[in-house]
Structure 1
Amino acid sequence: MPPSPHRSAQDSSPDLADWSGFALLESFANRSVSPVEVAKAVIARIEAYEPRLQALYAFDPEAALRDAKASEQRWLKGEARALDGIPATIKENIATRGTPVPLGTAARPLVPAAADAPSAARLREDGAVLLAKTTMPDYGMLSSGLSSFHPLTRNPWDLSRNPGGSSAGAGAAAAAGYGPFHVGTDIGGSIRLPASWCGVFGLKPSFGRIPIDPTYYGRVAGPMTRTVRDAALMMASLTRPDPRDPMSLPYQDLPWLDLAIDVRGLRIGVMMEAGIGLTLDPEIRTAVERAAQLFAAAGAVIEEVPPFVTREMLDGLDDFWRQRAWADIGALGEEERAKVLPYIRQWAEGGRNLTGAQVYHGMNQMMAMRHAAVAATHRFDFVLSPVAPCVAYAAELASPIHDPERPFEHIGYTVAFNMSDQPAASVNAGFTKAGLPIGLQIVGRRFDDVGVLRLSQAWEEMCPEKRPWPRLS
């Protein structure tokens, strides 16, 4: 059989755990591979890697094999669904019926969820085989794989390093080949940061594009995959409407799989400095500058974007989120509160004595960030930037500088685009000399999710540095 134009180099691997979603659908259709074979291959990969990686929660291989057998029967009967038989994981904070949702913390009671949240429901409706949930830190408030409930999640490129977070397990699982499809969530960088540090693709869609439940200010769900095309395939399912999300966008049947784009004449801004936080690592700077140069060589018009996030904005956001976290943690009894990760508990206690005026000022600063992001980027078709100022850091740390009094010094490139509702992705831009992945952030105008996928696909094809996925021996 000739190779499909949608196949990646990994799709020729003898190990089905490394195949893309597109290649699996093609092989299921021509009956050269069965969903059961694929499920068994991914389960074997998980069983081999998971003792060291610790990316999963509620792994259920028996249920996965049962669902794979049901998928196999649908293919044989000509009744296959859109994503039938493709293995998938779901971030722990996205409810799946019958599974408790601890939100990464040992402080919450383990009550089974009554129903699938929208993302889980859409994947299940379309025949995806849900293997497991993926790990996250306490309350999703860290860019780390550190948790008081889950074991420490590590980065498959270097087990001494952090995968990032809060979609920690999703990033690690995608890089390790725990199937093609993974769903994370993002409220300040929680998809893009682990995607960057784990070398995978992650899309933070426009706010409201993918229905979620429960909803909250700036919070989105999105795909984390090894390829842009697989993320686009997921978007066609994940974006279907759900009445449980009163903040969702009106449904649009967008051309998710039409990823062609002519780079010539595109106005692309490059924001090399975040304006606040950690100093940009020189190797990251070089990788992003190289990306800008290659887009320019392809005919794009490149222009510098000055930084726009201020210290007052970031500190205001910090005040608001500390108080929001303390509203939950402070309401716990002393015994339960003591179970919360000490870093998170100390950070949240900083919100304990904030006045209403201070919290209101913090919320206003998030609105100021929103206006500043749109004002700085609206005249461009797209904006490029680093995803983070640093590469993956030590696995045992809660943040790159591990200081709860300075928790957000690494999110200056990402957080503003949560506040502004703009779609933004992380796509691999290369590696450091030590072999750690570097992420390139691609930001689009509000609601241009398809455009971000198209430019990400263009970069994926242009990127001069590609490496085999990590193997844990």
Structure 2
Amino acid sequence: MTSEIAGEPSDATAAQLVEAYRSGTLSPSEALESVLARIAACEPKLFATYAHDPDGARAAAAEATERWRRGEPLGPVDGVPVTLKENIATRGVPVPSGTAATELVPAPRDAPAAARLREGGAVITTKTTMPDLGMLGSSVSSFHPRTTNPWNPRRTPGGSSSGAGAAAAAGYGPLHLGTDIGGSVRQPAHCCGLVGFKPSHGRVPVVPPYYGRAIGPLTRTVDDATVLMRVVSAPDARDHTSLPPADLDWDAVARADETRLEGVRIGVMADSGVGFAVEPDISSAVNAAARRFADAGADVEPVGPLLRREMLDGLDRFWRARAWAEVSALPPARASKVLPEILRWARTGQELTGEQVFHGFSQMDAMARAAATLWEGIDYLLTPTAPIPAFGVEQAFPSDDGERPFEHIGFTVPFNMSGQPAVSVNCGWTGDGLPIGLQIVGPRFDDVGVLTLARLHEMLSPPPRPWPAP
């Protein structure tokens, strides 16, 4: 279709689109039409979108087309299609948080990340789906249809950034933003074969901010994740935890081929300490990735488990109490609309004592302190992103056990609580063709280093599989 882009523009990277805009071989309006056609072709089976607005997107793309015609683009995402998880507010669009219990009131203004993207000329094509209250690792929702995985519609795309993961894998444009409080960006990346980056806490302002909550990209390539981070990582006064302005060298990620691993100490954590046992296919893929780093010169060594049962169960109790506080404050008619699995889980929060809730709250800090000790002997950490592959799309919980709903997040949740940057990248496939995620973690604030190591992993890995056809 263009000299720069082989195939459909909907499958192009952000850099490829921008180069085509610059050369005049493709316009933002033409790229958008390709994305809209892909969405129309896939949505009858994927159900990844919410508040899809083709007319608004076309108007934004037309403005970007004119800016590129004048040679006056606003930045590295001007005219590039982007989706946002539905809990990242965009003005005029209600924020249901995945549940039918929400009163649908239009958001009065853009959240910080949405505002930065709009200021940069990005074309917001649609919002994407999530499960009730973002408290599931699946796409089961009382408000949205159940989102499916493009690699296998009988499997979940992961959660809670379910629609973002499905949209990225299906080619709804190159850039997608999700949110992550226990793995909700990295888990869909694992399930859908993507790059999913949770930045250092405060790197991308969040409204409302909360312990462990982060906003990060879901993309097909590390370069696209970096492009998105470059735009959305500006501070915003609405998030009192946002980091001060920082002149990060995002360009270093593109120079990953210059990275020397000699003397770099990389730990490999094969067991998180709690939850599901790691399945053999996943262990093998992660170990193969570790060997590639070792062959490139890194000092690779095993690292022991991080979590204790007390930590994960305590956090579960605290989240139950918090969820029940929110649900019980709703009028009964609205509260009854919450997904039954979530309602049963949250209702147990009313039985907890103040001491139990406080102990659960304290486990977030216990995780952070445990994670901090890792960096006394290593520079970066490799783990499986999840111990199991994408589970059944009909399941709310991977274990079908509402009493133990978080057995799959033992590798991801500690780094929300420690505030450290962590990225999931595809490192292999199960015997039945499901993606496997490798998590790369670094010290807090070393976002560029983590993405650089992820980019190097791309370079060291075998060629990727073709993306699922529409």
- TM-score between both structures, scaled by the size of structure 1: 0.97
Find the counterpart in structure 1 of residue 72 from structure 2. Answer: 79
What is the aligned partner in structure 1 of residue 47 from structure 2? 54
Q: What residue number does 2:279 align with?
A: 281
The answer as to whether partners of 1:378 and 1:445 remain within 8 angstroms in 2 is: no
Question: Does residue 239 of structure 2 align to residue 213 of structure 1?
Answer: no
Check if 1:36 corresponds to 2:40.
no
Aligned-partner residue type, residue 12 of structure 2: W
Q: Distance in 2 between matches of 1:117 and 1:56?
A: 19
1:113 aligns with 2:111: no
How far apart, in 2, do the equivalents of 1:73 and 1:241 lie? Answer: 29
Residues 96-139 of structure 1, C-alpha deviations (whole Å, 9 max, x = no match): 00000000000010000000000100111000000010000000
Q: Secondary structure, in 3 states, of the residue corresponding to 1:350?
A: helix
Identical columns (%): 56
Tell me how far 1:330 sits from its aligned partner: 1.1
What secondary structure does 2:208 align onto? coil
Aligned-residue offset at 1:189 = 0.3
Whole-angstrom distance in 2 between the partners of 1:379 and 1:136: 38
1:271 and 1:304 in contact (8 A); partners too:
yes
**1:156-235 equivalent positions in 2, closer than 5 A:** 156-235=150-229
Matched, 1:97 2:91: yes
CA shift for structure 1 position 334: 2.0
1:336 equivalent to 2:330? Answer no
> Aligned runs of 1:319-330 on 2, under 5 Å?
319-330=317-328
Q: Secondary structure at the match of 2:334?
A: helix
- The equivalent residue for 1:151 is 145
Match of 2:7 in 1: 14
Amino acid at match of 2:429: F
- Work out which of the residue numbers 103, 125, 134 in structure 1 matches 2:119: 125
Amino acid corresponding to residue 123 of structure 2 in structure 1: V
* Displacement after TM superposition at 1:68 (Å): 0.5
Distance 1:445 1:197 in 2: 25
Counterpart-to-counterpart distance in 2, 1:133 and 1:442: 28
User: Helix, strand or coil for the counterpart of 1:90?
Assistant: strand
Q: Secondary structure at the match of 1:62?
A: helix
Amino acid at match of 2:363: Q
Amino acid at match of 2:269: M
Gaps (5+ residues) in structure 2? Answer: none
Deviates more, 1:256-265 or 1:360-369: 256-265
Does structure 1 conserve the Cα–Cα contact (< 8 Å) formed by 2:266 and 2:378? Answer: yes
Cα distance in 2 between the residues matched to 1:184 and 1:271: 26
Give the superposition deviation at 1:231: 0.7
Question: Counterparts of 2:27 and 2:392 in 1: how far apart (Å)?
Answer: 40
Instruction: Point out the more displaced range, 434-443 or 11-20.
Output: 11-20
Deviation at 1:378, TM superposition (A): 4.1
**How far apart in 2 are the matches of 1:448 and 1:358?**
35
Q: Is the 8 A contact 2:5 2:16 kept in 1?
A: no
Letter aligned with residue 412 of structure 2: T
Whole-angstrom distance in 2 between the partners of 1:173 and 1:408: 24
Deviation (angstroms), 1:275: 0.7
Secondary structure of 2:314's aligned partner: helix
Quote the Cα distance in structure 2 between the aligned partners of 1:120 and 1:394. 32
CA–CA distance in 1 between the matches of 2:21 and 2:364? 47
- Report if the CA contact (8 A) 1:385-1:442 is conserved: yes
Q: For residues 46-79 of structure 1, give each alpha carbon's deviation from its aligned partner in whole angstroms, at most 9, with x where no partner exists.
A: 0000110000000011111111110000011121
CA drift at 1:333: 2.2
- Quick check: 1:204–1:424 contact (8 Å CA) kept in 2? yes
Q: 1:417-436: per-residue Cα shift (whole Å, max 9, x none)?
A: 00100000000001112110
* Corresponding residue SS for 1:351: helix
Per-residue deviation, 1:392: 0.4
Q: Which amino acid aligns with 1:279?
A: A
Q: How many residues align?
A: 464
The list of structure 1 runs, each at least 4 consecutive aligned residues, that deviate by more than 6 angstroms after superposition, is none
- Counterpart CA distance in 1 for 2:389 and 2:461 is 18
Amino acid at match of 2:64: S
TM-score (norm 2): 0.97
Amino acid at match of 2:164: A
User: 1:348: how far off?
Assistant: 0.4
Give, in angstroms, the shift of residue 257 of structure 1.
2.2
Q: Which residue of 1 aligns with 2:297?
A: 299
- Which residue of structure 1 aligns with residue 16 of structure 2? 23
Aligned twin of 1:64: 57
What RMSD over aligned residues (CA atoms) do the two structures have, in Å?
Answer: 1.1
Q: Is the 8 Å Cα contact of residues 430 and 465 (structure 1) preserved in structure 2?
A: no
Secondary structure of the residue aligned to 2:351 is coil
* 1:12, distance to aligned residue in structure 2 (A): 4.0
